[in-house]
Amino acid sequence: MSYLDELNESQRVAVEHIFGPIMVIAGAGSGKTRVLTYRIAYMMEQGIDPFNILALTFTNKAAKEMTERIGHIVGPAEAKNISMGTFHSVFSKILRFNAERIGFPNNFTIYDTQDSKSLIKDIIKELNLDDKTYKPSMVFGRISAAKNNLISPEAYLANSEIQLEDKQARRPELGRIFQTYANRCLKAGAMDFDDLLYFTNVLLRDFPDVLHYYQQKFQYILVDEYQDTNYAQYLIVKKLAAAYQNICVVGDDAQSIYSFRGANIENILNFRKDYPDFALYKLEQNYRSTKNIVEAANSIIKKNKDQIFKTVWTDNNEGSKIKVQRSLTDNEEGRTIAQAIFERKTAEGARYQDFAILYRTNKQSRAFEEALRKLNMPYKIYGGLSFYQRKEIKDLLAYFRLSANPNDEEALKRVINYPKRGIGKTTIENIIIAANRYGTSMWEVIKDFQRYPADVGSAARSKIYEFVTMIDSFGAELEKTDAFTLAERIAKSSGIIRELLAEKDKGPEEVERFQNIEELLAGIQEFVRGAEPDAPRTLADFMMDVALLTDADQDKPEDRNHISLMTIHSSKGLEYPHIYIVGLEENLFPSQMALNSRSELEEERRLFYVALTRGMRSCMLSYATSRFTWGQAIMSEPSRFIDEIDPQYLQFEAVSRTNNSRSLMGSGGFERGFSGGLNKPLGTPPQLRSLKEVNKSQTPAQGDNTPGLMVGHNILHDRFGKGKVLKLEGQGPDKKATIFFPQHGSKTVLLRFANIQIIED
């Protein structure tokens, strides 16, 4: 067993201790992943069936890498049989097997945050609540927190403490929104991210046979990043492990940075209570970073009160000191860092992938992006708006979702009138009203207006009928056709491709949109092609976990030669030879919102600790003295975290490198400020405004502007040019025509307004 020789003493003990509860407290860079992979490989060599192993990781990427590494030791075929993945992905699979038990279809949709917020927004409107007191993101946050603590809507409403709290905060209707939201998700056959945990717990709580089945299946459980699990995750793991108690949790309290989504450091303490005879191992030797970095990080984390005592140390070289870099503006910071990377790369012959720029908030990426592009250095931004969040992708996915689960309300609302097919806002609102009245989904209503009468005109009904027929026809193909063929067909016959093609010559963004659709289709093709002979590879299969994918997951090894830009949160678990922690300013890092309490500030400090410990050989800290926020330059002070590092590990570089002729004038930021002032539109003078209002009185023709217009006529429109009349409908002032314009596609216009001439040809 050669790999055991690659472990130090404490690592080896943790690997070989495979029965009973154990906790591994693993300092940053101490070989935690190595312990986990070797432990699983070791278990399998001891004869444990991979089917009986459950390994929960924090990201899909970590799961994938670990599966690969275990595969190298025990063989890929065997490694594949381990249940390894994020909580969300493993639980979503369990839920799909058992969905009908809890009243969901097994092809339930997973709502992403966007979907959830959009639904909440609609509900707030429907309940006639003020959307200023009930801001969708705040409401969503409350609901999410409730679910992470396994509080049902009913329990929420019944809990007098919560109710009092909401009343005092002047949002007494939160419980009702929560209840409505849960109801609508159920009707839509949809779960949000939190539901994946919440309902897994319900399933295991209410169905002893299911619990028993999974307890028998998962006789050996490993949990990575245990410090970032929330109450729901804690309880589920506890239930699953109850029968055999072969549970190994690995974590580092110093790297707990997800309390905002319910992560609870108490779980570490609870572990001691739940398994009093547990074994505790500490991994304290850091193999990743220089002495300077390790010591600097230690000197920071020492300032926190809440922590489990441990001493992280390293045998590595001392390394260079941590440079502190000041810039005048955020844009100059971008140039300075890009320049610094360029110089180091040249001096050391380093590769691009050796560098990472880490920031607190996604929006900071811009300055670096621009600077790197100017210097022609390849970079990749992780996080932010992911591929699957882009509008055009979500639109197409909405069609896929509808095909698999037509009750999916968010998908339906998204595409029932996209591309435009003349189903307007009022129509959609009335469908929702009807659906609510009959306690059913929007789809059921539009499928059968006889059964569920709705206030929808006959013109709209016929268009809806066409839409329903189309979705039905897609649905009928789901099981018969492979994912790629069907996806392509949907893209075409939904009109999305036509829509994007028509806009393609508008500009580079439109071209990119079209390419994104092509990329998605190519991805589906690969999904089908990469399938094992008898594995199901339908579009529904593809859709199963699309909602759970992130950008980092589709990172291909071949194109890794770039500088990485990401938030510190998403850098967790990664390492880079050279890192640049930027935007170290008060109110940005630590975030202004974290200044209210000690515990929040300590979490920011842990975040800084995580950032520092990503670095292997060098680390630079950077801040700017002024920064653009919402179009205004705001002065900023260096972060307290810089002062908190023992100065013996720091080297201050007071003068900015790019402080050359160009920036004397006041670099980027100020330039922007100036031109902003100069180009600022003068604003509409009051006189003009009132003139416009006068004009209003002499507005449009009461009736039809183009009498005698018939279907089939060729016409000339003042904006869209030549076209052919396809359809006429409505009477008097509401009379409208659907006209096909070769250059613009088909449009519906009100004849009262449209400037149309009939032409002969």
Partner DNA sequence: CCAGTACTTAGGTTG
Partner DNA sequence: TAAGTACTGG
Alpha-helix runs per DSSP H in 75-225: 76-79, 87-98, 113-126, 136-148, 153-158, 160-168, 174-188, 193-206, 208-217
Examine the residue annotation and report whether 614 is marked as an active-site residue of this protein: yes
Contact predicate 196/91, CB 8 Å: yes
Q: Does 634 bind DNA (CB under 7 A)?
A: no
Q: Is 747 in the site for DNA (CB under 7 A)?
A: yes
Helix (H/G/I), strand (E/B), else coil: 617? strand
Binding segment for DNA (CB under 7 A), chosen from 28-36, 307-315, 355-363, 642-650, is: 355-363
Site membership for DNA, residue 690 (CB under 7 A): no
Measure the CA–CA gap between 131 and 134, rounded to whole angstroms: 5
> Of these, 458, 534, 696, 760, which contacts DNA (CB under 7 A)?
696
Looking at 700, 703, 721, 732, which residue binds DNA (CB under 7 A)?
A: 700
Quick one: which of 100, 534, 718, 760 contacts DNA (CB under 7 A)? 718
Residue 87 CB, nearest distance to DNA (Å)?
7
Where in 181-210 is the site for DNA (CB under 7 A)? 193-194
Reading the block at residue 556, the tokens are 């291909």
Distance, CA of 175 to CA of 159 (rounded, Å): 10
As a whole number of angstroms, the distance between CA 7 and CA 14 comes to: 10
Stretch binding DNA (CB under 7 A), from 168-176, 484-492, 633-641, 749-757? 749-757
What are the E-state strand segments in 203-312?
Answer: 220-223, 247-251, 279-283, 285-286
Kindly state whether residue 695 participates in binding DNA, applying the rule CB under 7 A: yes
Query: What is the per-residue burial (b if ≥16 Cβ within 10 Å, else e) of 9-44?
Result: ebbbebbeebeebbbbbbbbbbbbbbbbbbbbbbbb
Enumerate residues 89-118 that contact DNA by CB under 7 A.
89, 113
- Residue (312 or 624) nearer to DNA, CB: 624
Sheet holding 83-86, edge to edge: 83-86, 53-57, 220-223, 247-251, 22-26, 279-283
User: Distances in Å between the alpha carbon of 589 and those of 355, 639, 728?
Assistant: 21, 6, 60
Binding to DNA by residue 693, rule CB under 7 A?
yes
One of 550, 618, 622, 663 touching DNA (CB under 7 A): 550
For the bound state, the minimum distance from the C-beta of residue 158 to DNA, rounded and expressed in Å, comes to: 25
- Catalytic residue at 414? no
Residue from 33, 163, 339, 353 carrying the catalytic annotation: 33
Select 475 or 733, whichever has its Cβ closest to DNA.
733
Residues 203-242: x/- map of binding to DNA (CB under 7 A)? Answer: ----------------------------------------
462 touching DNA, by CB under 7 A: no
Q: Contact with DNA (CB under 7 A): which of 736, 737, 739, 751?
A: 736
Residue 667 touching DNA (CB under 7 A): no
For residue 699, give the 3-state DSSP assignment: coil
In the complex with DNA, the residue whose CB is nearer, 317 or 426, is: 426
> What CA–CA distances, in Å, run from 115 to 541, 584, 634?
20, 33, 34
Please report the DSSP string for 327-373 in residue order.
EEEHHHHHHHHHHHHHHHHHHHT--GGGEEEEESSGGGHHHHHHHHH
Q: Identify which range of 12-20, 555-563, 574-582, 742-750 contacts DNA by CB under 7 A.
A: 742-750
Under the criterion CB under 7 A, does residue 327 sit at the interface with DNA?
no
Compute the distance between CA of residue 234 and CA of residue 251 in angstroms, rounded to an integer. 13
Catalytic-labelled residue, pool 122, 225, 332, 604: 225
Whether the Cβ atoms of residue 307 and residue 50 lie closer than 8 Å to each other: no
Counting Cβ atoms within 10 Å, is residue 176 exposed (0-12), middle (13-18) or buried (19+)?
middle
Q: How far is the CB of 334 from DNA (least distance, A)?
A: 14
Q: Return the residue of 628, 639, 642, 723 that touches DNA, per CB under 7 A.
A: 628
436 binds DNA, rule: CB under 7 A: no
- CB nearer DNA, residue 311 or residue 695: 695
Q: Does 383 bind DNA (CB under 7 A)?
A: yes
Instruction: Tell me whether residue 513 is one of the annotated catalytic residues.
Output: no
255: annotated active-site residue: yes
**443 contacts 407 by C-beta, under 8 angstroms:** yes
The single residue among 442, 548, 642, 739 that binds DNA, judged by CB under 7 A, is 548
φ/ψ (deg, to 5) at 722: -70, 145
Catalytic residue among 255, 285, 325, 336: 255
Please indicate whether residue 33 is annotated as part of the active site. Answer: yes
- Considering only residues 35, 356, 594, 620, which one is a binding residue for DNA as defined by CB under 7 A? 594
Instruction: Tell me which residue of 113, 110, 52, 61 sits closest to 85, measured CA to CA.
Output: 61
Give the x-and-dash track for 407-426 against DNA (CB under 7 A): ----------x--x-xxxxx
Q: How far is the CB of 281 from DNA (least distance, A)?
A: 26
675-680 long-range Cβ contacts below 8 angstroms, 24+ apart: 676/631
Q: Structure tokens of 582?
A: 């930027």
CB of 592 to DNA, least distance (A): 5
- Is there binding between residue 469 and DNA (CB under 7 A)? no
Of residues 97 and 753, the one with the C-beta less far from DNA: 753
Which residue's structure tokens are 């609609």?
A: 122
Catalytic residue among 224, 395, 408, 604: 224
Q: Respond yes or no: is residue 738 known to be catalytic.
A: no
Indicate the residue among 183 and 259 with the shorter CB distance to DNA: 259
Residues 249-288 that bind DNA (CB under 7 A): 257-258, 260-261
As measured in angstroms, the least distance from the Cβ of 507 to DNA is 13
Q: Which residues 6+ apart lie within 8 Å of 288 measured at CB?
A: 28, 29, 314, 316, 575, 613, 616
Residue 80 to residue 442: CA distance in whole angstroms = 40
Which parts of this chain interact with DNA (CB under 7 A)?
58-60, 86-89, 113, 121, 132, 135, 137, 144, 193-194, 257-258, 260-261, 360-363, 366, 383, 417, 420, 422-427, 548, 550, 552, 566-567, 569-570, 591-594, 600, 604, 628, 630-632, 672, 676, 683-684, 692-693, 695-696, 699-700, 718, 736, 744, 747-750, 753-755
Catalytic residues: 32-33, 224-225, 255, 614
